[in-house]
Amino acid sequence: MEDKKIVLFIIDTLEVGGAERSILEIASRFSEYNPILVSLFEGDALKQEYIKRGIEVIGLDFKSGTKQHIILNRLQAILDDKNPQIIHATLIRSCLISRKLKRKPSVKLINSLVNNTYGFQRYRTLSPVRATKLFYTQLRDFMSVSKVDYFFSNSETIKNTSVRALKIDTSKIKVIYRGRDPEVFIDVDADVLRKDLKKLNETLYTCVGRLIGRKGQLDLVAAFSEHLEKHPNSKLLLVGEGPLRNDLEAKITALDLEEKILLLGQRDDIPEILTLTDYFIFPSYYEGLPGALVEAMFSKTPIVASGIPENLECINGDTSLTFKAGDIKDLVSKLNEATDILWEKKLQLAYKKAIEDFSIKKIVNKYELTYDELIHS
């Protein structure tokens, strides 16, 4: 039996995030390729899950400030030992490092574009110092982008931003969405969880995402405080972890909403939580391809989301309610409207869209077919 071709994935860490979980869900389903994953820096929350799913993991565990030549030496030794046909790097530090590896002409280098890194919205949210640092990163990215053979983009929005910011040839980019397994959202038993999270006749709102500024959770807390004035029998669950936790806790305490807004931290029972959820709220300022939004579509949960371009590749006015990102009054209005409209048709259309565009089996097939095309080009 012929050995499978090898894809060497390179990523910054294995902490819980959209890119890290996406690689896990896709690579663990490969049939034609053998995935090996190298994580460069400290952080291995998902390592055991990768191993459990049959993926070889090489954790280098470098500290964040490690000199690049030290990282490159270790990475080059792995490349020479494993002899992959494809190198596939994700997230900006890993992508920049991957471009400095010495590789045979037959070994193809792919970089994934997973965040709207250089979009106008991101620059607008940064301080002058941080915006200058980001622009320096953009210049480094631009100067080395020609070394990449091909790009996978999470969305059309990210593709367009990257073409503009980095001058990438559009023929070298393919949009492949993040996928989810629809079967895990079918016939979910949430009775045990119900006792802890949802009281009788309580309306449950859920937001899933890292606790960081661009995800908009502070806006949601402020809006939910106003929403409670008309809908007092409501509760908000914030699912995820991140550096914004302390700020969120302080705001929730200041508003005296400890019983109405719960910080659940990182969870592995999202299908069960969504089964209990009456409305899914997604207030991001910018995204990659919003996997949490796709999960809500598969779970047939009513969605209220910011009308940013990345979200609008998944939803629209026929499937969901949208509001202007950062506009708390508009968010309050849409939260109130959500309780008054009929959702059945919207949910059917959202589920149909999810099945057509985001089913994990289709995404895996696109990955492997594109790898084949690239190897034989």
Please report the pLDDT score of residue 121 as a whole number: 84
Taking the whole predicted model, whether its pTM rises above 0.75 is answered as yes
What confidence category does residue 17 fall into, taking pLDDT thresholds of 50, 70 and 90? confident
154-166 pLDDT tens trace: 999 999 999 999 9
Q: What is the pLDDT of residue 199?
A: 86
Q: Compute the mean pLDDT over every residue in the chain, rounded to the nearest whole number.
A: 96
The tokens of 356 are what?
A: 């057509």
Per-residue pLDDT, 1: 42
Q: Tens digit of pLDDT for each residue in 184-216?
A: 999 999 988 998 899 889 999 999 999 999 999
- The per-residue DSSP string of 304-365 comes to EEE--HHHHTT--TTT-EEE-TT-HHHHHHHHHHHTTS--HHHHHHHHHHHHHHHBHHHHHH
- Find tokens 């969305």 and name the residue: 155
H or E segment and range at residue 369: helix 360-375
Domains and CATH numbers, the chain: 5-179+359-375 (3.40.50.2000), 182-357 (3.40.50.2000)
Task: Assess whether pLDDT exceeds 90 at residue 66.
Answer: yes
Rounded CA gap, 9 and 224, in Å?
40
Confidence class of residue 250 from pLDDT cuts 50, 70 and 90? Answer: very high
d(CA 239, CA 273) in angstroms, rounded, equals 9
pLDDT at 288: 85
Alpha helices of 61-210 — where are they, by DSSP H? 68-82, 92-98, 120-125, 128-144, 156-166, 191-197
**E strand intervals along 182-278:** 203-208, 234-239, 261-265
- The number of beta carbons lying within 10 Å of the beta carbon of residue 51 is 12
pLDDT above 70: residue 2: no
Read off the pLDDT of each residue in 218-236 and give the average, rounded to a whole number.
Answer: 98
Query: Strand pairing of 234-239 and 261-265?
Result: parallel
Q: Could you tell me what percentage of the chain is helix, strand and coil, using 3-state DSSP and rounding each to the nearest 5? A: 45, 20, 35
| Closest by CA position to 79, among listed 10, 166, 154, 2 | 10
Q: In this predicted model, what pLDDT tens digit does every residue of 325-374 receive, in sequence order?
A: 999 999 999 999 999 999 999 999 999 999 999 999 999 999 999 999 99
In the predicted structure, residue 50 carries a pLDDT above the cut 90: yes
Query: What is the distance between the alpha carbons of residues 6 and 84, in angstroms, rounded to a whole number?
Result: 5
Q: What's the mean pLDDT in 57-69?
A: 96
Q: What are phi and psi of 126, to 5 degrees?
A: -95, 150
DSSP state of 118: T
Q: How do residues 302-324 score in pLDDT, each as one tens digit?
A: 999 999 999 999 999 999 999 99
Residue 59's pLDDT is: 98
Residue-wise pLDDT for 82-122, tens only, equals 999 999 999 999 999 999 999 999 999 999 999 888 988 88
213 or 1, greater pLDDT: 213
